Amino acid sequence: MLLSLDSGVSALDQFQQQLNVVGNNIANVNTVGFKSADVNFADALSQTLGSTSAGSTQVGSGVLTASITNQFTQGSITSTGVQTDMAVNGNGFFLVKDSSTGASYATRDGEFTMDSSGYLVTSTGMRVQGYSDAGLTTQGDLKIDNTGAPNGDTSAVQSYSFGSDGKLSVELADGTQFTRGQVLLQNFTNPEQLIKVGNNLFSGLTNAGPLAAPLAPSSNGLGDLVSGAVEMSNVDLAGQLTSLITTQRAYEANTKVITTSDEILQDLINLKR
């Protein structure tokens, strides 16, 4: 069989993979905290036909997908005016936990809400992690209530806010103000090892190499926390549309390789006749 057929078929498979990735990027152009992906290609094993004093004679057998990597560049920060919304301006990920399984995830999606129990949660109910006590010593689920108020004050929560350092400040109905907790961030030595699991969440935290224990925003190279705002998708729509066109043309070119190879085989069959 002509090797060009193998090369053409392998190219169709891999360019279809690239179309899938580009299509997913474009579909998530407005998804809060979404990180786009890139496809990296590598040549397939070459067949050695012989060797001479000048070197070996090899013919390639097509292309492979070497990797599909996530791009963690900063997305634009958009103000929402919702006090539970947060964006990280710089490095770092929010940590959230599934209260039913205890599994932890990283995310750049700071579109949070407060549930009926007062916990700060994601759209799917994952609880945001940080210092969960007024003394900022215990890490756990962040909760907005009057726990830890000075002198055991039991007044109802009147208002609250988050600072650029992640600290949760609560004001009670009687005017008492205190720090209830603090949002913490986590950074990784190799975030490309994080695995997308849907709902803007990443697993594989251990493989990505956490730099240290979760730390306060604005410390140790971590970004600032912007409250009342969210980080939008980092998809470059113009770039993705360009990739879509070039991938389509490459796909068409390789269908031509297959068609030409088929015509040559047909000519060989006709010679036998």
pTM as predicted: 0.87
Q: Are 227 and 241 found together in one domain? A: no
* Residue 158 lies in domain: 77-231
Q: Residue 62: beta bridge partners?
A: none
Alpha carbon distance 109, 94 (integer Å): 8
Which regions of the chain are under pLDDT 50? none
Please report the pLDDT score of residue 261 as a whole number: 85
Q: Are 197 and 252 found together in one domain? A: no
Q: Are 221 and 113 found together in one domain? A: yes
Q: Are 10 and 107 found together in one domain? A: no
Alpha carbon distance 44, 18 (integer Å): 17
Alpha carbon distance 102, 228 (integer Å): 28
Please report the pLDDT score of residue 183 as a whole number: 98
Please report the pLDDT score of residue 50 as a whole number: 64
Residue 229 structure tokens: 């705002």
Alpha carbon distance 25, 233 (integer Å): 9
CB 41 within 8 A of CB 63: yes
Q: Are 65 and 83 found together in one domain? A: no
Classify the C-alpha dihedral 152-153-155-160 as positive or negative. Answer: negative
Please report the pLDDT score of residue 268 as a whole number: 81
Q: Can you spell out the DSSP letters for 59-94?
A: E---EEEEEEEE--PPPPEEE---TTBEEEESS-EE
Q: Are 86 and 63 found together in one domain? A: no
SS3 185: strand
CB 273 within 8 A of CB 115: no
Radius of gyration of the chain from Cα atoms? 27
Q: Are 115 and 87 found together in one domain? A: yes
Please report the pLDDT score of residue 47 as a whole number: 65
Only one residue has tokens 């999606």, namely 109
Cα-Cα-Cα-Cα torsion 241, 246, 247, 253, nearest 10 degrees, comes to 150
- 139 phi, psi to nearest 5 deg: -90, 140
Q: Are 83 and 211 found together in one domain? A: yes
Alpha carbon distance 179, 181 (integer Å): 6
